[in-house]
Amino acid sequence: MAMNRRRLVTSCCWRLAVGATLLVGLQASVARAGSCSVETWEQLRQVGYGSISQVAYSPDGRRIAVATSTGVVLWNEEQGQVERVLTGPAHLVAWSPDGTRIASGAAGSIKVWDADSGTLLLSLGHAVNSVAWSPDGTRIASGGAGSVIEVWDAESGALLRTLTGHTDTVNSVVWSPDGTRIASGSGDFDYPADTTVRVWDADSGALLLTLAGHTDRVNSVAWSPDGTRIASGSDDSSLKVWDADSGALLRTLFGTGSVNSVAWSPDGTRIAGGSFNIKVWDAESGALLLTLTGHTSSVNSVAWSPDSTRIASGSFDLSVKVWDADSGELLRTPIPGVGGVSSVAWSSDGTRIATGSWDRTIKIWDAESGALLRTLTGHLNVVFSVTWSPDGTRIVSGSRDGSTKVWDAGSGELLRTLTGFSGNWVFSVAWSPDGTRIASGSFDRSIKIWDADSFALHRSFGDESSVVSVAWSPDSTRIATGSTGRLKVWDAETGAVLLGRAVPDSVLSVAWSPDGTRIASGSGSRDPTIKVWDAETGDLLRTLTGHTTSVESVAWSPDSTRIASGSGDNSIKVWDAESGELLRTLTGHTRDVSSVAWSPLSCALASGSLEGSFRLWGNPPSGTQLERWQ
């Protein structure tokens, strides 16, 4: 087989895991594409913020800080909206006791921010796994890969003390309520040798206690509000409660899988633990009070509101949820789980956006408000591709589960599952512009064409290698396909190859210009270019260079004057389709940009990225609309 299968699989996995950026509400307020000035574009909106590592309530309970792969997101509980994003990846977050500052941690440093203005106050060059403020707000403790706990002056950033004794990574640190002691939990991911909880004198650095009993890495430690007990959560699926003075083990509770996070209610009566779900126990008796279900992946952080009435949770499903701590009712989802978005597509009237995701779902979003309208479930594996019917009533999706599904876009009902692929992966689906047929490209090297009403297989023809991308010509008579080292144009009725052109690497994306005269293609990392072809003769008109690795998505503006491209180099580029001039490079994504799509009605672009978000780019509107979007 001519194709390099391993390379194709790698490239396609990039395409699918995308978290993308949603274009929200531009139709009424930005210029039509004919007067599109991309030079003045800004990021207008972001839906989804990638991986979520930690959540923390502000001391007054008004805000939730969320550490994500794209920044610290401040959610205002009273206003019900994102207040601010402190830019830069973060996997740790903690509020100062007075609520005026926020400490965040990432791979290379600890940062201290002004919580109201978002101003960066302090940066400490240190890689950490955990940060915690002293109760009086004067010191910050941190733990990291160096097996030590470090104590910093919160004003000057001076290193005050280093606590040594652990022999593995320090995953969690917490101060006692009176500020005299620090508790820490340890253990490496792969081969943990030190699975202890240790208690230290915060002033002298002396080791006071070593709490042994966990059999796997300790992920989280939490001090009871009265200072008498310590709770610890571990990969051994247990939550243990210890006497903070004697070190005696008081109780062992069990989660559903690894216990990633533990938190005492501020009134001291309950303990919450995050594992595959969230469990709430009575702190005295150990009785299980609640099991909170709704996340679709492991819960890596739980936090109580200061009044003990709510629990916030962050999950590997990329969502944040807020629960009633008494009834267990889900109150809201401040950050919805966008999932790794592999495909983004606009409805023809520009009012809705569909995304296909790594979490096996198709989601439909309101393009004006950004609200999640509907989630379509039924695929058994990653959804690689989604597209709308021209009349906006149906959606077709292609998945790694080897099926193509057709859905009612209004009700979310599954209308039909199209099967018959001998390979597992349906990489790409496309609805013909006249609405009568659906095309699909698959790992089994086939292009299949289905009747869009009867769902009968109309035609099937094969290629030399797996078909990664398919696109219909505007007149619905031809299909362009991308595969390993080849771009082809087929007669949609007969299956005859009309054009075939060799390229140095896999063709990951193909798109027809809306006027039907040209085809744009994006290639893999050995040839990270966009090529523009004459759709009739197959002549190469120009090659657009600038990306540094795979070009995973290409899209034409509605007036055929611009080409947008998304790449594994984390950037989006917008090109003049006639001259080939690079007009703009859009940055902000922290992982591969696997999908780009122009609004059908306005000068705006949606982008999707492996980070687990989708973003909107365009010229900002004025007045109340801009305020609403922010």
Task: Note the pLDDT tens digit of each residue in 23-68.
Answer: 333 333 333 334 577 888 888 777 788 889 999 999 999 999 999 9
Please tell me the distance from the alpha carbon of residue 313 to that of residue 321, in angstroms, as a whole number.
5
Cα 605 off chain centre by: 18
**All domains in the chain, ordered by first residue:** 5-46+338-629 (2.130.10.10), 51-127 (2.40.10)
Please tell me the distance from the alpha carbon of residue 291 to that of residue 158, in angstroms, as a whole number.
43
Among 105-109, 130-134, 336-340, 422-426, the range with the most confident prediction by mean pLDDT is 130-134
Contact of 61 with 624, CB cutoff 8 Å = no
In the predicted model, is pLDDT for residue 363 greater than 80?
yes
**Encoded amino acid at 434, one letter:** D
pLDDT averaged over the chain?
88
Residue, of 627 and 107, whose pLDDT is higher:
107
Please tell me the distance from the alpha carbon of residue 320 to that of residue 317, in angstroms, as a whole number.
9
Residue 563 structure tokens: 């080409």
Tokens 């652990």 identify what position? 166
**CA-based Rg of the chain, rounded to a whole angstrom?**
26
Backbone angles phi, psi at 343, to 5 degrees: -150, 140
Cα 214 off chain centre by: 32
Q: What is the pLDDT of residue 423?
A: 65
Where is average pLDDT lowest: 267-276, 326-335, 477-486, 585-594?
A: 585-594
User: Which strands sit side by side in the sheet containing 229-234, from one edge to the other?
Assistant: 218-223, 229-234, 238-243, 249-254
CB-count exposure of residue 204 (10 Å: 0-12, 13-18, 19+): exposed
